[in-house]
A and B are shown apart, each in its own frame.
Chain A
Amino acid sequence: MSLALDLALCALILGVALATVAGSGLFRAIVFFIVYGLLVAVGWVRLGAIDVALAEAAIGAGLTGVLLLAAHGRLRRLGTARDASHGAHLLSALAGAALAAALAWAWFVLPLPERPGPELAAAMPRAGVENPVTAVLLNFRAWDTLLESIVLLAALIGLWMLTRERDWSGRLGLPQHSRAGGVLASFGRVLPPVGLLIGVWLVWAGADRHGGAFQGGTVLAAVGLVAAMAGLVRPPRIGARLWHVALMIGPAVFVLAGLAGAILAGEFLTLPPPIAKPAILTIEIALTASIAATLAFLVLGPPEEGRAP
């Protein structure tokens, strides 16, 4: 019976993936992609990867959908929302098939790792936290996470470089507005308190249970986006100093903790067990602020003073 459930879920995921790439119509593909994110999140839960499921639910169901729908709306206002040519379809299909084949090849060739890995189990007492995912991300393989947080920042800077000269001092994104007391404005008031609570809790619980800076930060970003899209909160300008601090505090605290490790343990980014737990919590809280601000600003887009479209 459990096998039937997994098979049905796999069939649905494959079917939705096929419908996303094979069906005609841009909008249908976008909606199928949103559905795909939802189903893949359920798939990760079935595999027992709750941390990944949380990230997929927050990114796939929340932010990506908003981003793609906004892009589609803009294409339509520009009058260019139509399917690409057959040649472009064929090219992307070939590229996708090649990537899938390469991944399948790697899957069959590489040896299956033991779960959760004897080395990890032996090292966990030194990690300072109970959640093995957090231990790997912020302690044993902190280099990767540090560089990823810097990549996010670089992506935002790249996006801001697309700003037109005349809009540079404006507020981020399109000037959002809604009917006072309408459905959208009410939704923008109801959702943020709940989302704030869940986002902060995901970060706090991430040390010993499931969750973490990325999941919590994504939820916080989504909550801020809802408030901004309802026209209740005005996005900041590019030059806002306080937000520069929020964007940079994550990588900065991470590097500082790494330097502290270099002094105390003799190696950069090595957290000695006595300070591991407070250090990881501090890094997580700082990273959450940076991830939340960066993701929200990425979805809002560069400043545009409402010039159509």
Chain B
Amino acid sequence: MTLWLTFVALGVLASLAGALWRVWRGPREADRMMAAQLVGTGGVGLLVVLAPLQDWAALDVALVLALLAALAAVGFVKARSDDGAGDPEEAPPTPEMMRPRQTRHDPRGRHG
């Protein structure tokens, strides 16, 4: 059982490494931020797997991580708003967002 759990933990760790590649590559800031959130989720998973392996108190850390990893995402959307204190949802939808999906990549380049 211990061997199996360690194997699962290694697998979760490998998937974290995949998310790190996205943090490195980007290309947009949102891509990097979402990859960091994925590392947070993977970290919670890793801690839950580690808990029976060594110390059930690892669940406490997983709990705190699950609660607070999303805080960085809140900080990110805040920092991206115009005055640094707003909410992207407050902005009225741009014509780009309102356009039906199939015309978004219009070959005539109307969106550009």
Contact = CB atoms under 8 A, between A and B. Distances in A.
Interface of A: 1-2, 4-5, 8-9, 12, 15-16, 19, 23, 27-28, 31-32, 34-35, 38-39, 41-42, 45-46, 48, 50, 53-54, 57-58, 61-63, 65-67, 69-70, 72-74, 76-77, 173-179, 182-185, 187, 191, 194-195, 198, 202, 209-211, 215, 219, 222, 225-226, 229-231, 306, 308-309
B60 A191 contact: no
Contacts of B68: 57-58, 61-62, 195, 219, 222
Nearest to A47: B54
Contact of B46 (A42, A73, A76, A229): A42
Interface residues of B, number: 54
B72 A61 contact: yes
A177 B86 contact: yes
B59 to A, nearest CB: 10
Closest 9 CB pairs between A and B?
A73-B79, A65-B72, A62-B68, A66-B75, A178-B87, A174-B85, A182-B89, A69-B75, A179-B89
Contacts of A211: 60
Given A38-B69, A46-B54, A219 B64 contact: yes
Interface in B25-44: 26, 29, 32-33, 35-36, 39-40, 43
A66 B67 contact: no
Contacts of B76: 69
A8 B87 contact: no
A54 B20 contact: no
**B16, B36, B72, most chain A CB atoms within 10 A:** B72
B86 A178 contact: yes
Given A32-B23, A226-B74, A182 B87 contact: yes
B47 A42 contact: yes
Given A19-B20, A174-B84, A202 B90 contact: no
A195 B47 CA distance: 19
Contacts of B90: 177-179, 182
Contact of A306 (B10, B32, B64, B85): B85
A15 B78 contact: no
B92 to A, nearest CB: 11
Nearest to B19: A35
B97 interface: no
A171 B102 CA distance: 47
Nearest to B80: A73
A215 to B, nearest CB: 7
Given A9-B13, A42-B46, A48-B54, A176 B85 contact: yes
Contact of A174 (B36, B63, B83): B83
Contact of A28 (B23, B60, B70, B78): B23
A259 B32 CA distance: 52
Given A69-B79, A309-B83, 18 more contacts: A32-B24, A34-B36, A41-B65, A42-B50, A48-B54, A50-B55, A57-B64, A61-B40, A65-B72, A73-B84, A76-B79, A174-B84, A182-B89, A184-B77, A194-B67, A198-B63, A210-B57, A211-B60
Contacts of A58: 64, 68
Nearest to B67: A195
Contacts of A76: 79
A57 B20 contact: no
A5 B13 CA distance: 8
B26 A28 contact: yes
Contacts of A202: 60, 64
